[in-house]
Structure 1
Amino acid sequence: MYLVTFRIDPGEYDAEFHELNDAIQAVAEQSDAYRGKRTWHDPDSDEVLVVYYWESQDALDAFGSDSDHELAKQRWTEWYDAYEVTVTEIVDRYGSGFGADGDPPE
């Protein structure tokens, strides 16, 4: 499994951002290898972390080359003050107490 952490310092969102963002999310959700996402907001700043769960690197690569996703990457300065993407391969996972909440979201 792979985690893609999208760290953003949001700027101003407009209607075009929301349309493009919804289209990109729909593409992700259509992939059998997409497992969901979780979002966190830093209470002391505007920073947001979104963690996406993917089953394979191939599916992640295909998602990254989607035309709407490519367009959004080219236009990021219109909507974000800063961003960072980190792709992590999970090699092990353990813990206790989260129950079903510890699993990737469906």
Structure 2
Amino acid sequence: MYLVTFRLDPGEYNEEFHELNDAIQAAAEDTDGYRGKRTWHTPESEEVLVAYYWESLDALETFGAYAEHKEAKQRWTEWYDAYEVTVTEVIESYGSGFGDDADPPA
């Protein structure tokens, strides 16, 4: 499994951003191998962290080829003040107490 963390400092969002963002999320959900996402907001700043779960690098690469995703990557300065993406291979994941919200998402 692979975990992609998208850390961002949001700027100004407009209607075009929301339409593109919705299209990207739909594309992710339509990609075989997409397992879900979790989002956290930093209470002391505007910073947001989104963790996306993927079954394989092939699935992630398929998603990365979507036109909407490529467009958003080219236009990031219109909507974000800063961003960082980290791709990590998950070797093991375990825990207890989160019930249906346990990572990774089903």
SS of alignment partner, residue 86 of structure 1: strand
In the alignment, does 2:103 pair up with 1:92? no
- d(CA) in 2 for partners of 1:7 and 1:78? 16
Give the counterpart letter for 1:71 in structure 2. E
Counterpart in the other structure of 1:32: 32
- d(CA) in 1 for partners of 2:38 and 2:3? 11
- d(CA) in 2 for partners of 1:7 and 1:83? 5
Deviation at 1:62, TM superposition (A): 1.2
Pairing 1:78-89 to 2, within 5 Å after superposition? 78-89=78-89
Aligned residues: 106
In percent, how many aligned pairs have the same letter? 75
Q: Deviations over 1:63-88 (max 9, x none)?
A: 11211100000000000000000001
TM-score normalized by structure 2?
Answer: 0.94
Deviation at 1:36, TM superposition (A): 0.7
Please say if residues 31 and 62 of structure 2, whose CA atoms lie closer than 8 Å, have aligned partners that are also in contact.
no
Deviation at 1:31, TM superposition (A): 1.3
Pairing 1:66-85 to 2, within 5 Å after superposition? 66-85=66-85
Moved beyond 4 Å, runs of 4+ = none
- d(CA) in 2 for partners of 1:71 and 1:52? 19
Pairing 1:36-75 to 2, within 5 Å after superposition? 36-75=36-75
Unmatched 5+ stretches in structure 2: none
- d(CA) in 2 for partners of 1:104 and 1:94? 9
TM-score normalized by structure 1?
Answer: 0.94
